[in-house]
Amino acid sequence: MKILQTIVTASTLVIGSSLFAQDAKPAAAPAAAPTAAGQAAPAAPAEGDPANAPMDEAQMAAMFPKSPMNAESFDAAAKSPEAIAKGVAMLDQVAAAYKAAPAMTDTVVYTVKIPGGEQKESIAISMGAGQDMQVKVATMNLTCVKGSVYFADESMADKFVQVPLDGTLLNTLKEKFQGMEFPVPHLALRSAAPGKAVDSFGFGGSSFEKVSGYQEKDGSAQILLDGGESDMMLTVNPTTKLLSAMSLVMSPPGAPAGIRFTVNFTLDPKTMDVLTPAISFDTAGRKAVASQEEMVPTRPEAIAVGAVAPGFSLQDLSGKTVTLADLRGKIVVIDFWATWCGPCRKGLPSINALAQWVAETKQPVVVLGINVWERGDNTVDKSKEFWTKQAFVFPTLLDHAGDVVKQYGFDGIPATVIIGMDGKVVNVHTGFDPKSDLVGDLKAEILKAIGTKG
């Protein structure tokens, strides 16, 4: 996956926000799984399953609006040879400004508009002398300090990668972290050769060959970079020569020609003589490993039918604690979901219909959602807003750290578990199949567990 990877599925467009990522492969999936970074990643489609087949061109064209290219906001004069020469010179000044800064901090916020909403992520950057640098995004932390490169992920808190710096940080990432890329241009700008600063913006699945326009607008300098099927507009503070914004227009991998979307970046660079606090990496309580592969825990196995369901005590959206042991003697249905998970959003109405049936027929059943792996800031507020808007009749519990879903052995969602009156697992459903009768199946399994007929 690239940092701005696009994976088009039958139900959602997922934008990966990993600090580093590998090449994107379009795929369709019945369930969304958290990667090592806790982000959504589709599982492989079932072979020959038409319900999970990728969308055709007509469906994709209807789903994704065509974003205009940045070049459309540059007139002929702004694309003239004279303007392009000014753009090249300005870009060299930008690189020089990043090289000259003894130390720097920056907060990069990027926003992607996707079907059904908007996705926003932030990247915190600290740059010290030489190659010393720290980048934090979501649960991840990349640190280069005192001749070593460290990579850690809060979702795998017991381990971290440590490798020696191999010349430069960019070279170390290339040699020691196969398939990975740096998510922002800062580091490349600090080492860019004259006339080659355009190469610093080859991230997010796009590469740019040349400066193709320049204009001064709203008190800022704007540089247009040409990437063929994509383009990028850089907004530069004319005083500091540092970037204040970037606008990337690109096509999703595998999308029909002409389908584009825009990723808007805002930057807040601040230069200083010395970083306070200094860049550091805390290794206490964790084990050093030599590669990312060694960080990843063994793939869990989903809980088996007949196994005793792991206990839990979780809070609902009102702050009330719900404990599984207190529900012994009733059938309990739990559905693991997340706001970013398209298949989950497709399946939740079925769980809600089940909860309505339970209430209407007064079955000895408790239906619970369990909200897992939420990302970004204000996750509780995000969950409340989503749940309230949907007006579901059953409560959801909060497991944002993923402790309970991990105990149940799931590495993808949605996942639904029926727990019998004796506390043992009656059945498990994973993924979302739009052609299945999930409500009917769950009702039948519940009635069988109760010992009655529908």
pLDDT score recorded for residue 50: 39
pLDDT score recorded for residue 349: 95
Backbone phi and psi for residue 4, each to the nearest 5 degrees, phi listed first:
-110, 35
pLDDT score recorded for residue 433: 87
Q: Tell me if residue 149 falls in helix, strand or coil.
A: strand
Q: Tell me if residue 198 falls in helix, strand or coil.
A: helix
pLDDT score recorded for residue 222: 98
pLDDT score recorded for residue 39: 38
**How large is the C-alpha radius of gyration of the chain?**
25
Low-confidence ranges of the chain (pLDDT < 50): 1-30, 35-55
Q: CA dihedral in degrees (3, 343, 295, 18; nearest 10)?
A: 10
Nearest-angstrom CA–CA distance, 272 and 279 = 14
Q: Tell me if residue 87 falls in helix, strand or coil.
A: helix
Q: How many CB atoms lie within 10 A of CB 326?
A: 12
CA-CA-CA-CA torsion sign (376, 384, 433, 333): positive
What pTM value is reported for the model?
0.60
CB under 8 Å to 85, separation ≥6 — which residues? none
Q: Which residue stretches of 38-103 are H helix?
A: 57-63, 81-100
Nearest-angstrom CA–CA distance, 89 and 65 = 35
Q: What is the pLDDT of residues 67-118, one digit of tens each?
A: 789 999 999 999 999 999 999 999 999 999 999 999 999 999 988 865 556 6
Q: What is the pLDDT of residues 355-403, one digit of tens each?
A: 999 999 999 999 999 999 987 778 899 999 999 999 999 999 999 989 9
Nearest-angstrom CA–CA distance, 141 and 125 = 10
Q: CA dihedral in degrees (270, 271, 277, 278; nearest 10)?
A: 130
Q: Tell me if residue 150 falls in helix, strand or coil.
A: strand
45, 27 contact by CB (below 8 A): yes
267, 261 contact by CB (below 8 A): no
Closest CA to 19 of 182, 175, 195, 248: 182
CB under 8 Å to 77, separation ≥6 — which residues? 83
The pair of structure tokens assigned to 266 is 């805002």
Nearest-angstrom CA–CA distance, 173 and 179 = 9
CB under 8 Å to 387, separation ≥6 — which residues? 317, 369, 396
pLDDT score recorded for residue 448: 94
Q: Which domains does the chain have, with CATH numbers?
A: 6-63 (no CATH), 70-293 (2.50.20.10), 313-450 (3.40.30.10)
